[in-house]
Structure 1
Amino acid sequence: MRRSTRGGAFIGSLLLGAGLLLAPTASADVQAPDSCPPDIWYKVVAYPAKYEGIGSTAGKFNSGSASTILRYDMTTTTAKQSEWTAELGGTMKFAVAEVQGKTSHQITDHTSTGVTVSNTINVPGRKYGYTTPKIERTTFIVEKWQDTPTCGARKLGNAGKLWGITAYPFYSECIATGPCAPKP
């Protein structure tokens, strides 16, 4: 009986040694996708500009036969300001920084009443020339986005909406054979 135990131990150690000599195998059928950090970023979407009056219309008739440059000095009668409505957060300062950093627009915080503004128009002979001081206001949506683990992007929502004054003063003008309303 002693002999068979020794023989079994010997055979077991041979099998164990043979198993250690075999090279390990690995399977790499499916690789894990690359992972991206979940960074947050913002996108700015601009809508067409609109115009709002900040003073009265001024105009004259050029009674001469030659073109004349007419100068209009007007006083602003309405104050306007840029406005921010937050949805997912952020301040007005944040919104202005995003818009100015990601577009070619500069934002004016506010305008005042009682400011004298001037405009000149080249009015042909026997024509009327009118002008109105205005602001140009552009609506911007600041969207909040996040990178996904698979390096895509998903929209989290809107950080908010900025009604920004993008031109001040802006002058609407018209030239006609009769009285006219300056556009835009």
Structure 2
Amino acid sequence: MNEQVKQIAARIRELREILDIPQEEVAKKVEVSLGEYQKYEQAEDDIPIGVLYGVAAELGVDPTELLTGEAPRMDEYTIVRGGNGVSVERYPGYAFTALAYNYKNRDMEPMIVTISPNDEAELVTHSGQEFNYVLEGAIKVVIRGREFVLKAGDSIYFNPELPHGQRAVTDVAKFLTIINE
């Protein structure tokens, strides 16, 4: 596991212990088994972004605090200059850059996602709504077994409570995703 994942896991564990919330309670709230949750807290498995946001909600913090260790500060506007978002490598060949991490009480989470080809798109679920807009290359979006190939300039808006995932069709693909949870 990379150092960033270990730091996120440690922040979650520490905050949960400070709040005196049992692991079982958090696991139940984010709809994962206790064993799976314990692997996340011990940095034995990478935490899916939907689970990370669920844990943040259960612990009463902004996801930025779990990702960076710092609370968002801005409440009127925030500007993120090109290349200065909070970057997180989540899975091999998959990285995202949070673009509004310093804005308090966000209703949306805009991110740039960069992916490389992999065997299959890992299917995930989370609450809210999701929008993807392809910036470079082409991606395959899988939603509940249906596959859609999107090229630069194409977009999709969908219910992320349905099992879904994305993978690069070209060597590297980049898309803007906006998630409202």
Structure whose CA Rg is larger:
1
- Decide: shared fold, TM above 0.5: no
After TM superposition, the score normalised by the length of structure 2 is 0.23
Q: Which protein, 1 or 2, shows the higher relative CO under an 8 Å CA cutoff with sep ≥ 6?
A: 1
Larger strand percent: 1
* Richer in helix (by share): 2
